[in-house]
Amino acid sequence: MSRGGFSRPVAMEDGEAHMRRAIELAERGRHRVMPNPLVGCVLVRDDEVVAEGWHDHIGGLHAEQMAIADAESRGVPTQGTTAYVTLEPCNHFGRTPPCTESLLWAGVSRVVIGALDPNPTVRGGGSEALLEAGVVVESGLLEEDCEGQMAAFMHWCRHRRPLVTLKASTDSEGRIDVPPTEPPRRFSSDRSLELAHEIRAGSMAILVGVGTVIRDDPSLTVRGPGIGPRDSPTRVVIDPDNRIPPHSKLMTQGDAPTLIVQSSETDSSGDLHHVERVVIPEREIPVARVLDMLGDRGVQSLLVEGGADTWSRFLSEEAVDRARICISPIDLGGSGPVFRSSSLRESGLVLTSEEDCSGDRVEWWSKEHSE
C-alpha cells in the first residue's frame, strides 16, 4: 500500500482506502459467518497496511483478532497502530473473547470504525471501553458501505425481523408461469438460475405459499458453482389449511429444515425430523406475524419466492425490503397470473439497478428509505 513518496495532506482519503480494504477483506466470510455480520479489519502504521484480518467463519476469530494474529505471525509490531474495522469492536465474551481486550493488549492506539454495532449484547460498549482505556476512537467512516455489506444483520438487530427480498421470474409479458395445461418448465437463462442460487445461499430462510409446493414441488435447496458448504436455508411454507402434499420434496427430503406455518393444529405424527409446524391461529395468516415469528428464531434474511398470492400479500403489507425481478425475452403465452412492477412501486420500492443476465433482464428494487 506504499504510495511511493506521494504526500497527501488530508488523512481522510487514505483512511477511506484503508476502510475499503477492510470491506474487501470482509467479503471473504460471505456465506460462512451467518448469522454473524461480515467484518474486516486492517492495522495501519504510517499510512501503510501492516496486517489484515476478517471474520472468516462462524466460531472463528473476529476480524480484529485475526489482524492481530496476522501481525504476530509475521513478527510485525502492533504497538501504536491504527485499526480500521468495518464494525464496532465487540466488548463481550461470545464465541471469542472481547475484541476490545485484544486491541488493548496489542497496543493499538487509534480505532476507526465503519458502523456501530446495534447488537444489544455489544451496543456502545466497544467504543466506550476503548475510549476509557485512552484509545482514540472515530466512527462513521464509509458507514453506508459497511452497513450495506451487513444489511441483514443490521436490519434484524434493529427490527427483530428478517430483511425480506422478493424474487420473481417472468416472461416478456410479466407472466410467471406456463399455461396450467402445460407441465412446469424453466424459462430463465442458466446464468439467471445460477444467480438465483447465489441469492438463496445468502438467505437464512426461503418462503413459498403452499400453492407453489402443490404445483411445482420445489426442493428449495442451494446448489451451484461458487457456493461453498453452508447450512441450507430453512424452507418456510405458508399453509393455512394444511394442504401440503405429504409426498412433496419439502416433506420427504431432509436436506434442509422445513417449517410449515398453519392456522390450526393438525396431526403431525407422520412428519419426518426435518419438518416443524407452527400455528398462527388466524384464517388469513398476517405477514407481520410470520416475520415476527421468524425474527424470534433469529432469521435475519428471508427470500420470498412466490407464488403470485404470496408476493401480493407481502407487497400489500409493505413487508418487502428488496426485490429481484428476472425478465426473460421468451413469450410463454396463455392467460395465467402476471407479476407487475407497478406493485413494487405501490409498495414503496424503487428500481435501483438493472443488469443483463445472458439475455434475461434482471431488475433490482429496494425500499426507498430502508436501513
Binding site residues, ligand AOF, CB under 6 A: 36-37, 39, 55, 62-64, 87, 89-90, 94-96, 99, 117, 119, 122
Per CB under 5 A, 235 contacts Zn ion:
no
CB closer to ligand AOF, 62 vs 235: 62
* Binder of residue 200, out of ligand AOF, Zn ion, none (CB less than 5 to 8 A by kind): none
* Binder of residue 195, out of ligand AOF, Zn ion, none (CB less than 5 to 8 A by kind): none
Q: How many residues in the shown chain lie near Zn ion by CB under 5 A?
A: 3
Which grid cell sits at 314? 407481502
Which residue reads 430453512 in cell numbers?
234
Which residue reads 436436506 in cell numbers?
255
- Rounded CA-CA distance 22/344 in Å is 34
CB of 66 closer than 8 Å to CB of 53: yes
CB closer to ligand AOF, 157 vs 327: 157
From 18, 21, 62, 200, residue interacting with Zn ion (rule: CB under 5 A): 62
From 42, 61, 87, 99, residue interacting with Zn ion (rule: CB under 5 A): 99
Q: Is 24 a catalytic residue?
A: no
- Rounded CA-CA distance 228/173 in Å is 35
To 10 degrees, what angle do helices 63-73 and 11-26 make? 100
- Rounded CA-CA distance 5/7 in Å is 6
Residue 43 gets the label, from left (phi > 0), alpha (psi -120 to 50) or beta, of beta
Which grid cell sits at 189? 437463462
CB closer to ligand AOF, 39 vs 319: 39
Length of the chain (residues): 371
* Binder of residue 39, out of ligand AOF, Zn ion, none (CB less than 5 to 8 A by kind): ligand AOF
Residue 303: CB partners within 8 Å, gap ≥ 6? 165, 167, 199, 200, 203, 205, 206, 207, 233
Nearest approach, Cβ of 81 to ligand AOF (angstroms)?
16
Nearest approach, Cβ of 92 to Zn ion (angstroms)?
8
Nearest approach, Cβ of 71 to ligand AOF (angstroms)?
16
Per CB under 5 A, 90 contacts Zn ion:
yes
Nearest approach, Cβ of 94 to ligand AOF (angstroms)?
2
CB closer to ligand AOF, 117 vs 239: 117
- Rounded CA-CA distance 321/371 in Å is 9
CB of 367 closer than 8 Å to CB of 326: no
Distance from the Cα of residue 262 to its chain's centroid: 26
CB closer to ligand AOF, 156 vs 365: 156
Nearest approach, Cβ of 130 to Zn ion (angstroms)?
12
Nearest approach, Cβ of 91 to ligand AOF (angstroms)?
8
* Binder of residue 94, out of ligand AOF, Zn ion, none (CB less than 5 to 8 A by kind): ligand AOF
Q: Give the closest residue to 43 by CA, choosing from 125, 110, 136.
A: 110
CB closer to ligand AOF, 60 vs 240: 60
* Binder of residue 63, out of Zn ion, ligand AOF, none (CB less than 5 to 8 A by kind): ligand AOF
Nearest approach, Cβ of 30 to ligand AOF (angstroms)?
13
Q: Which of 52, 64, 88, 305 is the catalytic position? A: 64
E-strand spans in 79-171?
82-87, 110-115, 136-139, 163-170
- Rounded CA-CA distance 89/8 in Å is 29
* Binder of residue 286, out of ligand AOF, Zn ion, none (CB less than 5 to 8 A by kind): none
Burial of 163 per CB tally in 10 Å (0-12, 13-18, 19+): buried
Amino acid of residue 76: V
* Binder of residue 36, out of Zn ion, ligand AOF, none (CB less than 5 to 8 A by kind): ligand AOF
Which range touches Zn ion (CB under 5 A), out of 44-52, 95-103, 192-200, 345-353? 95-103
Could you list the residues that contact Zn ion (CB under 5 A)?
62, 90, 99
Active site residues: 64
